[in-house]
């Protein structure tokens, strides 16, 4: 049974929605270059916000939760990497001034690598207890293909997208260079819901 938001059944919400934000690609890429990433194979994740006890080991590990879906099982802190990256921090602040931002990451996919089709059961606006994930491409090439429900999402650098990741999705990097996306998870409060619904 689908949840109703503002009297709009969520099964009428598009599976991909480009949001009205455009971030400075050159500034994002410059900060990423300054991070001096380690070499990696296939797939790599760099946390920018993470559970508090991961960022600061002196903080006790929270007790086990019955449901981890909405991020309320822990407090979240900015990592040292995010603190060294003022423009990436400003992107996070764009959303955190309106809602609680939980997990933020840089996702790197090596050239020639594939992320197999999968679903993320709690990453959809239609899920009652969840966070939603926004995606901002930072580095790419013309052979990167992000498939959602078997059709390509035409994401360009610096754009910001809501994707209904409860649906099947996969990624193919058919190029020789890496792809880097920034993903921002947040609580879908009234502001977030309106942002998504008003731009579909």
Spell out the domains of the chain, with CATH numbers in brackets: 22-57+69-197 (2.60.120.330)
Q: CB count, 10 Å around CB of 90?
A: 12
pTM of the model: 0.93
User: What's the confidence (pLDDT) of residue 11?
Assistant: 66
pLDDT of amino acid 10: 57
pLDDT, position 7? 46
Average pLDDT, consecutive stretches of 10 residues, N- to C-terminus, the chain (200 residues): 46 90 98 88 94 96 89 96 97 98 97 96 89 97 98 98 97 97 96 94
Q: Among 68, 73, 24, 36, which Cα is nearest to 53's?
A: 73
């Amino acid at each position: 049974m689908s949840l109703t938001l503002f009297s709009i059944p969520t099964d009428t919400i598009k599976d991909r929605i480009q949001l009205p934000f455009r971030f400075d690609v050159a500034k994002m890429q410059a900060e990423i270059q300054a991070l001096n990433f380690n070499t990696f194979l296939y797939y790599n994740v760099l946390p920018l916000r993470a559970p508090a006890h991961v960022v600061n080991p002196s903080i006790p590990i929270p007790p086990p939760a019955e449901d981890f879906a909405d991020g309320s099982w822990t407090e979240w802190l900015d990592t040292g990497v995010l603190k060294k990256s003022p423009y990436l921090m400003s992107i996070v602040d764009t959303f955190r001034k309106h809602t609680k931002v939980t997990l933020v990451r840089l996702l790197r996919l090596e050239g020639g690598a594939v992320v197999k089709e999968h679903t993320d059961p709690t990453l959809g606006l239609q899920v009652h207890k969840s966070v939603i994930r926004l995606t901002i491409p930072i580095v790419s090439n013309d052979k990167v293909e992000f498939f959602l429900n078997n059709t390509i999402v035409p994401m360009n650098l610096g754009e910001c997208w809501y994707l209904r990741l409860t649906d099947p999705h996969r990624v193919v990097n058919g190029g020789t260079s890496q792809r880097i996306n920034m993903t921002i998870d947040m609580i879908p409060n009234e502001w977030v819901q309106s942002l998504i619904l008003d731009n579909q």
